Amino acid sequence: MTNPSRPGSDPALSMIISEQRQLINLAYRLLGSLAEAEDVVQETYARWYAMSSQQRDAIASPGAWLTTVASRICLNLLNSARARRETYVGEWIPEPLPEHTEWASGQPGGATADPADRVTLDESVNLAFLVVLESMTPAERVAFILHDVFRYSFAEVAEIVGRSPAACRQLASSARRRIHASQAPATPVAQQAGVVRAFKTAWEAKDIDALIGLLDPDATAIADGGGLAITFLDPIEGGEQIAHAWLEIAHRRPGNMTYLERTVNGRPGLVAQQDGVTVTVFAFDIAGDRIKHIWVVRNPTKLRRWTTA
Protein backbone atom coordinates (compact mmCIF):
# COMPACT_ATOMS: atom_id res chain seq x y z
CA MET A 1 0.00 0.00 0.00
CA THR A 2 1.33 3.40 -0.90
CA ASN A 3 2.11 5.67 2.03
CA PRO A 4 -0.50 8.44 2.02
CA SER A 5 1.87 11.01 3.45
CA ARG A 6 3.07 14.02 1.51
CA PRO A 7 5.85 15.61 3.53
CA GLY A 8 5.26 19.27 4.17
CA SER A 9 1.87 19.29 2.50
CA ASP A 10 -0.22 19.39 5.69
CA PRO A 11 0.54 20.99 9.07
CA ALA A 12 -1.39 18.19 10.79
CA LEU A 13 0.29 15.46 8.76
CA SER A 14 1.33 13.27 11.68
CA MET A 15 -2.24 13.26 13.03
CA ILE A 16 -3.63 12.34 9.62
CA ILE A 17 -1.16 9.50 9.18
CA SER A 18 -1.97 8.20 12.67
CA GLU A 19 -5.49 7.42 11.44
CA GLN A 20 -4.14 4.90 8.92
CA ARG A 21 -4.14 1.97 11.35
CA GLN A 22 -7.72 2.68 12.42
CA LEU A 23 -8.88 2.89 8.81
CA ILE A 24 -7.19 -0.38 7.82
CA ASN A 25 -8.70 -2.14 10.82
CA LEU A 26 -12.15 -0.77 10.03
CA ALA A 27 -12.07 -1.51 6.30
CA TYR A 28 -10.78 -5.07 6.73
CA ARG A 29 -13.61 -5.92 9.12
CA LEU A 30 -16.16 -4.37 6.80
CA LEU A 31 -14.88 -6.03 3.61
CA GLY A 32 -13.15 -9.23 4.72
CA SER A 33 -10.34 -8.46 2.27
CA LEU A 34 -7.10 -6.77 3.19
CA ALA A 35 -6.37 -5.96 -0.45
CA GLU A 36 -9.70 -4.13 -0.78
CA ALA A 37 -9.18 -2.49 2.62
CA GLU A 38 -5.87 -1.07 1.48
CA ASP A 39 -7.50 0.26 -1.70
CA VAL A 40 -10.22 1.92 0.40
CA VAL A 41 -7.68 3.63 2.64
CA GLN A 42 -5.68 4.77 -0.38
CA GLU A 43 -8.81 6.24 -1.95
CA THR A 44 -9.77 7.90 1.33
CA TYR A 45 -6.43 9.68 1.57
CA ALA A 46 -6.58 10.58 -2.12
CA ARG A 47 -9.88 12.36 -1.47
CA TRP A 48 -8.37 14.16 1.53
CA TYR A 49 -5.48 15.50 -0.51
CA ALA A 50 -7.74 16.35 -3.46
CA MET A 51 -9.20 19.12 -1.30
CA SER A 52 -7.57 22.49 -1.00
CA SER A 53 -5.68 23.32 2.20
CA GLN A 54 -8.46 25.76 3.08
CA GLN A 55 -11.06 23.00 2.77
CA ARG A 56 -9.00 20.66 4.95
CA ASP A 57 -8.45 23.36 7.56
CA ALA A 58 -12.21 23.86 7.77
CA ILE A 59 -12.77 20.24 8.85
CA ALA A 60 -13.12 20.21 12.64
CA SER A 61 -12.25 16.51 13.05
CA PRO A 62 -10.08 15.10 10.26
CA GLY A 63 -10.17 11.66 11.87
CA ALA A 64 -13.96 11.59 11.81
CA TRP A 65 -13.93 12.83 8.21
CA LEU A 66 -11.55 10.05 7.14
CA THR A 67 -13.62 7.40 8.94
CA THR A 68 -16.83 8.66 7.36
CA VAL A 69 -15.36 8.62 3.86
CA ALA A 70 -13.75 5.18 4.30
CA SER A 71 -16.98 3.72 5.70
CA ARG A 72 -19.04 5.09 2.82
CA ILE A 73 -16.58 3.68 0.28
CA CYS A 74 -16.83 0.32 2.03
CA LEU A 75 -20.62 0.50 2.03
CA ASN A 76 -20.62 1.09 -1.73
CA LEU A 77 -18.23 -1.82 -2.22
CA LEU A 78 -20.38 -4.09 -0.09
CA ASN A 79 -23.45 -3.20 -2.14
CA SER A 80 -21.63 -4.08 -5.36
CA ALA A 81 -19.89 -7.14 -3.90
CA ARG A 82 -23.07 -9.18 -3.88
CA ALA A 83 -23.32 -8.98 -7.65
CA ARG A 84 -19.61 -9.82 -8.01
CA ARG A 85 -19.90 -12.82 -5.69
CA GLU A 86 -22.66 -14.29 -7.88
CA THR A 87 -20.02 -14.89 -10.57
CA TYR A 88 -17.34 -16.10 -8.14
CA VAL A 89 -16.28 -19.70 -8.72
CA GLY A 90 -17.25 -21.75 -5.67
CA GLU A 91 -17.60 -20.40 -2.13
CA TRP A 92 -16.19 -17.02 -1.05
CA ILE A 93 -14.28 -16.95 2.25
CA PRO A 94 -12.80 -13.79 3.80
CA GLU A 95 -9.07 -13.31 3.30
CA PRO A 96 -7.18 -15.07 6.13
CA LEU A 97 -4.45 -13.20 7.98
CA PRO A 98 -1.34 -14.61 9.66
CA GLU A 99 -0.31 -13.58 13.13
CA HIS A 100 0.77 -9.93 12.96
CA THR A 101 4.38 -10.81 13.74
CA GLU A 102 4.50 -13.03 10.67
CA TRP A 103 3.56 -10.50 8.03
CA ALA A 104 3.72 -6.92 6.94
CA SER A 105 1.21 -5.31 4.60
CA GLY A 106 2.57 -5.10 1.09
CA GLN A 107 5.79 -6.83 2.13
CA PRO A 108 5.16 -10.61 2.35
CA GLY A 109 7.77 -12.07 4.61
CA GLY A 110 9.17 -8.66 5.46
CA ALA A 111 10.61 -8.16 8.90
CA THR A 112 9.82 -4.47 9.20
CA ALA A 113 6.93 -2.31 8.11
CA ASP A 114 4.88 0.61 9.24
CA PRO A 115 2.84 -0.66 12.23
CA ALA A 116 -0.06 1.44 10.92
CA ASP A 117 -0.46 -1.08 8.10
CA ARG A 118 -1.08 -4.00 10.43
CA VAL A 119 -4.50 -5.27 11.33
CA THR A 120 -5.09 -5.71 15.05
CA LEU A 121 -6.17 -9.30 15.57
CA ASP A 122 -8.92 -9.90 18.11
CA GLU A 123 -12.25 -11.70 18.31
CA SER A 124 -13.78 -9.39 15.70
CA VAL A 125 -11.48 -10.71 12.97
CA ASN A 126 -11.60 -14.45 13.54
CA LEU A 127 -12.91 -16.29 10.49
CA ALA A 128 -16.07 -17.49 12.22
CA PHE A 129 -17.00 -13.88 13.01
CA LEU A 130 -16.18 -12.60 9.53
CA VAL A 131 -18.19 -15.39 7.88
CA VAL A 132 -21.27 -14.39 9.89
CA LEU A 133 -20.72 -10.78 8.82
CA GLU A 134 -20.97 -12.00 5.21
CA SER A 135 -24.57 -13.06 5.86
CA MET A 136 -25.59 -9.53 6.86
CA THR A 137 -26.87 -6.75 4.66
CA PRO A 138 -24.26 -4.06 3.93
CA ALA A 139 -26.06 -1.56 6.17
CA GLU A 140 -26.28 -4.07 9.05
CA ARG A 141 -22.60 -4.85 8.75
CA VAL A 142 -21.51 -1.21 8.72
CA ALA A 143 -23.81 -0.21 11.58
CA PHE A 144 -22.73 -3.16 13.72
CA ILE A 145 -18.98 -2.80 13.13
CA LEU A 146 -18.98 0.95 13.68
CA HIS A 147 -21.08 0.78 16.85
CA ASP A 148 -20.27 -2.54 18.53
CA VAL A 149 -16.63 -2.92 17.51
CA PHE A 150 -15.39 0.67 17.08
CA ARG A 151 -17.79 2.23 19.61
CA TYR A 152 -19.23 4.99 17.44
CA SER A 153 -22.52 6.43 18.69
CA PHE A 154 -25.65 5.73 16.68
CA ALA A 155 -25.83 9.44 15.86
CA GLU A 156 -22.37 9.18 14.28
CA VAL A 157 -23.27 5.92 12.53
CA ALA A 158 -26.43 7.53 11.16
CA GLU A 159 -24.43 10.31 9.54
CA ILE A 160 -22.16 7.76 7.87
CA VAL A 161 -24.85 5.30 6.74
CA GLY A 162 -27.39 7.93 5.76
CA ARG A 163 -30.19 6.63 7.98
CA SER A 164 -31.75 7.76 11.25
CA PRO A 165 -30.10 6.84 14.59
CA ALA A 166 -33.14 4.69 15.40
CA ALA A 167 -32.80 2.80 12.12
CA CYS A 168 -29.08 2.26 12.77
CA ARG A 169 -29.88 0.96 16.23
CA GLN A 170 -32.23 -1.59 14.65
CA LEU A 171 -29.60 -2.58 12.08
CA ALA A 172 -26.98 -3.17 14.76
CA SER A 173 -29.47 -5.08 16.89
CA SER A 174 -30.34 -7.38 13.98
CA ALA A 175 -26.65 -7.97 13.29
CA ARG A 176 -26.00 -8.66 16.97
CA ARG A 177 -28.69 -11.35 17.01
CA ARG A 178 -27.01 -13.07 14.06
CA ILE A 179 -23.67 -13.01 15.84
CA HIS A 180 -25.09 -14.37 19.10
CA ALA A 181 -27.05 -17.11 17.32
CA SER A 182 -23.91 -18.36 15.59
CA GLN A 183 -21.54 -18.25 18.54
CA ALA A 184 -20.60 -21.36 20.45
CA PRO A 185 -19.37 -21.17 24.07
CA ALA A 186 -15.83 -19.83 24.12
CA THR A 187 -13.08 -22.45 24.04
CA PRO A 188 -9.67 -21.49 25.52
CA VAL A 189 -7.04 -20.88 22.84
CA ALA A 190 -4.73 -23.52 24.32
CA GLN A 191 -7.53 -26.09 24.07
CA GLN A 192 -8.24 -25.04 20.48
CA ALA A 193 -4.54 -25.45 19.66
CA GLY A 194 -4.62 -28.95 21.14
CA VAL A 195 -7.58 -29.93 18.97
CA VAL A 196 -5.93 -28.55 15.83
CA ARG A 197 -2.68 -30.37 16.68
CA ALA A 198 -4.57 -33.63 17.21
CA PHE A 199 -6.40 -33.13 13.91
CA LYS A 200 -3.07 -32.58 12.11
CA THR A 201 -1.59 -35.71 13.70
CA ALA A 202 -4.61 -37.86 12.81
CA TRP A 203 -4.68 -36.46 9.28
CA GLU A 204 -1.01 -37.18 8.66
CA ALA A 205 -1.41 -40.66 10.15
CA LYS A 206 -4.49 -41.28 7.95
CA ASP A 207 -6.37 -42.28 11.11
CA ILE A 208 -10.02 -42.09 10.05
CA ASP A 209 -11.41 -42.97 13.48
CA ALA A 210 -9.37 -40.23 15.18
CA LEU A 211 -10.49 -37.70 12.56
CA ILE A 212 -14.14 -38.59 13.07
CA GLY A 213 -13.70 -38.31 16.84
CA LEU A 214 -12.35 -34.77 16.50
CA LEU A 215 -15.16 -33.55 14.24
CA ASP A 216 -18.62 -32.54 15.39
CA PRO A 217 -21.20 -34.88 13.77
CA ASP A 218 -22.81 -31.79 12.17
CA ALA A 219 -19.53 -30.15 11.15
CA THR A 220 -19.16 -28.37 7.81
CA ALA A 221 -16.14 -27.74 5.61
CA ILE A 222 -16.05 -24.96 3.02
CA ALA A 223 -13.29 -24.26 0.50
CA ASP A 224 -12.37 -21.19 -1.53
CA GLY A 225 -10.24 -21.69 -4.63
CA GLY A 226 -11.75 -18.81 -6.59
CA GLY A 227 -11.38 -20.83 -9.78
CA LEU A 228 -7.60 -20.39 -9.46
CA ALA A 229 -6.79 -23.51 -7.42
CA ILE A 230 -8.24 -27.01 -7.35
CA THR A 231 -10.52 -27.70 -4.40
CA PHE A 232 -14.02 -28.95 -3.62
CA LEU A 233 -16.69 -26.51 -4.83
CA ASP A 234 -19.64 -27.45 -2.60
CA PRO A 235 -19.60 -27.45 1.22
CA ILE A 236 -19.04 -30.85 2.85
CA GLU A 237 -21.65 -31.59 5.51
CA GLY A 238 -21.15 -33.99 8.41
CA GLY A 239 -18.13 -35.06 10.45
CA GLU A 240 -17.79 -38.50 8.85
CA GLN A 241 -18.01 -37.07 5.34
CA ILE A 242 -15.33 -34.48 6.16
CA ALA A 243 -13.07 -37.14 7.70
CA HIS A 244 -13.30 -39.27 4.56
CA ALA A 245 -12.63 -36.23 2.36
CA TRP A 246 -9.54 -35.34 4.41
CA LEU A 247 -8.36 -38.96 4.22
CA GLU A 248 -8.59 -38.74 0.44
CA ILE A 249 -6.57 -35.51 0.54
CA ALA A 250 -3.94 -37.29 2.67
CA HIS A 251 -3.63 -40.09 0.13
CA ARG A 252 -3.11 -37.53 -2.66
CA ARG A 253 -0.65 -35.41 -0.69
CA PRO A 254 2.45 -34.55 -2.75
CA GLY A 255 5.80 -35.55 -1.31
CA ASN A 256 6.90 -31.93 -1.01
CA MET A 257 3.79 -30.88 0.96
CA THR A 258 4.17 -30.03 4.64
CA TYR A 259 1.51 -29.04 7.17
CA LEU A 260 2.41 -26.44 9.80
CA GLU A 261 0.58 -25.07 12.83
CA ARG A 262 -0.01 -21.35 12.39
CA THR A 263 -2.18 -18.61 13.83
CA VAL A 264 -5.02 -17.75 11.44
CA ASN A 265 -6.89 -14.54 12.25
CA GLY A 266 -5.91 -14.83 15.88
CA ARG A 267 -6.86 -18.49 16.32
CA PRO A 268 -4.97 -21.80 15.95
CA GLY A 269 -4.96 -23.06 12.38
CA LEU A 270 -2.89 -24.92 9.81
CA VAL A 271 -1.13 -24.05 6.58
CA ALA A 272 0.01 -26.32 3.78
CA GLN A 273 3.28 -25.44 2.09
CA GLN A 274 4.91 -26.78 -1.03
CA ASP A 275 8.61 -26.05 -1.33
CA GLY A 276 8.20 -23.31 1.29
CA VAL A 277 5.28 -21.61 -0.46
CA THR A 278 1.94 -21.45 1.35
CA VAL A 279 -0.72 -22.95 -0.91
CA THR A 280 -3.56 -23.52 1.56
CA VAL A 281 -4.71 -22.01 4.85
CA PHE A 282 -7.05 -23.94 7.15
CA ALA A 283 -9.10 -22.04 9.73
CA PHE A 284 -11.17 -23.80 12.38
CA ASP A 285 -14.18 -23.08 14.55
CA ILE A 286 -13.94 -25.23 17.67
CA ALA A 287 -16.45 -25.81 20.44
CA GLY A 288 -15.13 -27.78 23.39
CA ASP A 289 -13.05 -30.62 21.96
CA ARG A 290 -14.81 -30.84 18.59
CA ILE A 291 -14.34 -29.01 15.30
CA LYS A 292 -17.57 -27.44 14.05
CA HIS A 293 -16.33 -25.65 10.94
CA ILE A 294 -13.28 -25.82 8.68
CA TRP A 295 -12.55 -23.06 6.17
CA VAL A 296 -10.05 -23.92 3.46
CA VAL A 297 -8.56 -21.00 1.53
CA ARG A 298 -6.63 -21.92 -1.62
CA ASN A 299 -7.25 -18.86 -3.77
CA PRO A 300 -3.65 -17.62 -4.25
CA THR A 301 -4.74 -13.98 -4.35
CA LYS A 302 -5.85 -14.36 -0.71
CA LEU A 303 -2.57 -15.91 0.42
CA ARG A 304 -0.15 -13.13 -0.55
CA ARG A 305 0.38 -12.03 3.06
CA TRP A 306 1.61 -15.42 4.23
CA THR A 307 5.31 -15.88 4.79
CA THR A 308 7.31 -18.76 3.40
CA ALA A 309 9.18 -19.23 6.64
Q: In this structure, is residue 8 part of a structural domain?
A: no
Are 206 and 157 contained in the same domain? no
Q: In this structure, is residue 53 part of a structural domain?
A: yes
Q: In this structure, is residue 5 part of a structural domain?
A: no
* Residue ending a domain, choose from 133, 167, 182: 182
Are 211 and 249 contained in the same domain? yes
Are 25 and 158 contained in the same domain? yes
User: Amino acid identity of 302?
Assistant: K
The 10 Å Cβ neighbour count of residue 76 is 12
Kindly report the CATH number assigned to the domain that includes residue 271: 3.10.450.50
pLDDT at 309: 42
Q: What residue numbers bound the domain in which 200 lies? A: 189-302
What beta strand segments (E) does the chain contain? 215-224, 236-237, 257-264, 267-274, 277-287, 290-297
Biggest CA-to-CA distance, the chain: 70
Number of domains into which the chain is organized: 2
Report CA dihedral (220, 301, 127, 38) to the nearest 10 degrees: -160
Could you report the per-residue pLDDT of 225-282, keeping only the tens digit for each?
Answer: 999 999 999 999 999 999 999 999 999 999 899 999 999 999 999 999 998 899 999 9
For 265, list phi and psi in degrees, rounded to 5.
50, 45
Question: HSE on the CB side for 132, CA within 13 Å?
Answer: 21
Could you report the per-residue pLDDT of 170-210, keeping only the tens digit for each?
Answer: 999 999 999 988 877 788 999 999 999 999 999 999 999 99
- In the chain, DSSP finds a helix count (H) and a strand count (E) of 12, 6
Are 195 and 151 contained in the same domain? no
* Residue ending a domain, choose from 182, 211, 226: 182
* Residue ending a domain, choose from 148, 182, 216: 182
DSSP annotation of 39 reads: H
pTM metric for this prediction: 0.88
Q: Which residues contact 185 (CB under 8 A, 6 or more apart)?
A: 287, 288
Are 178 and 214 contained in the same domain? no
Are 130 and 196 contained in the same domain? no
pLDDT at 12: 61
